């Protein structure tokens, strides 16, 4: 499968309706060939969700979300700092979902056979868990199936302590990062400049501009939760 809905139900963050859509693409120059996963409000345009604060269902208390605004001139939350451009890929995927483009993935157990479209979607591929949205919004079984036979993955969560075996813990500052490190969790941290890097505990993202874009995410494989590697930091862009 190249595209599928792998979850459609309540958000584990606030109980409101969300959908998780997986698409296979080779057009991202940073990540390479990858299964992208979009965690979206199923009932609200992502730009509107951002502007009204309804994106809490999929992003939780992430500080990159910005502030709710009623300004008719603004298309999204005031002061939003998230690197994901809602008006491009995210909006395209949401509109395609509303048109009924994506089939629903199935897990069917029969007499002597199992059909698992979610596992099929990830098999042998690089998976980007949460291209947009926090994976903690969806049940763990979704990600466990998607990652069961994949080649590797990247994952990040702002929900403290969520599945450190799967996700890097997103840290807003060095204090938060240190708290995670003290609990054996690896972090992904956005820094203002290279001078903010904690060289003892962090490495600069090798796919970033500042690191010379030495490698794509598909080959790097550092942002996949627990491992013996250092935590990762990237200069804000």
Structure confidence by residue, pLDDT tens digits, 25-39: 776 655 567 999 999
What are the CA-CA distances from residue 158 to residues 34, 141, 202 (Å)? 22, 19, 18
User: Measured between alpha carbons, how far apart are the two ends of the chain, in Å?
Assistant: 33
> Tokens for 104?
């629903």
> Do 26 and 103 belong together in one domain?
yes
Nearest to 145 by CA among 57, 37, 53: 37
For the CA atoms of 225, 231, 232, 233, what is the dihedral angle to 10 degrees?
130
> Do 36 and 71 belong together in one domain?
yes
Query: How big, in percent rounded to 5, are the helix, strand and coil portions of the chain?
Result: 25, 30, 45
pLDDT band of 92, cuts 50, 70, 90? very high
More reliable by pLDDT, 33 or 8 = 8
> Do 142 and 177 belong together in one domain?
no
More reliable by pLDDT, 234 or 236 = 234
> Do 54 and 97 belong together in one domain?
yes
Q: Quick check: is 165 in a domain? A: no
Domain span at 184: 171-237
Q: Quick check: is 166 in a domain? A: no
> Do 146 and 230 belong together in one domain?
no
Q: Quick check: is 235 in a domain? A: yes
> Do 113 and 199 belong together in one domain?
no
> Do 29 and 134 belong together in one domain?
yes
Distance CA 193, CA 234 (A): 8
pLDDT value for 110:
75
Report how many domains make up the chain: 2
């Amino acid at each position: 499968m190249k595209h599928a809905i792998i979850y459609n139900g309540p958000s584990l963050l606030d109980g409101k309706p969300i959908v998780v859509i997986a698409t296979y693409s080779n057009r991202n120059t940073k990540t390479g060939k990858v299964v992208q996963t979009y965690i979206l409000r199923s009932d609200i345009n992502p730009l509107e969700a951002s502007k009204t604060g309804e994106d809490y269902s999929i992003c939780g208390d992430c500080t990159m979300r910005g502030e709710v605004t009623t300004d008719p001139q603004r298309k999204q939350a005031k002061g939003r700092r998230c690197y994901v451009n809602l008006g491009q890929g995210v909006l395209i995927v949401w509109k395609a979902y509303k048109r009924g483009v994506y089939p629903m993935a199935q897990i069917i157990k029969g007499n002597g056979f199992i059909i698992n479209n979610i596992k099929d979607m990830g098999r042998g591929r690089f998976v980007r868990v949460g291209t947009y949205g926090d994976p903690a919004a969806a049940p763990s079984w979704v990600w466990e199936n998607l990652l069961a036979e994949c080649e590797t993955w990247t994952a990040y969560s702002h929900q403290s302590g969520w599945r450190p075996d799967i996700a890097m813990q997103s840290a807003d500052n060095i204090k938060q990062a240190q708290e995670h490190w003290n609990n054996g969790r690896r972090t992904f941290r956005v820094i203002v400049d290279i001078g903010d890097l904690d060289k003892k505990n962090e490495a600069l993202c090798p796919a970033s501009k500042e690191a010379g874009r030495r490698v794509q995410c598909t080959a790097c494989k550092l942002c996949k939760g627990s491992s013996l590697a250092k935590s990762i930091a990237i200069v804000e862009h």
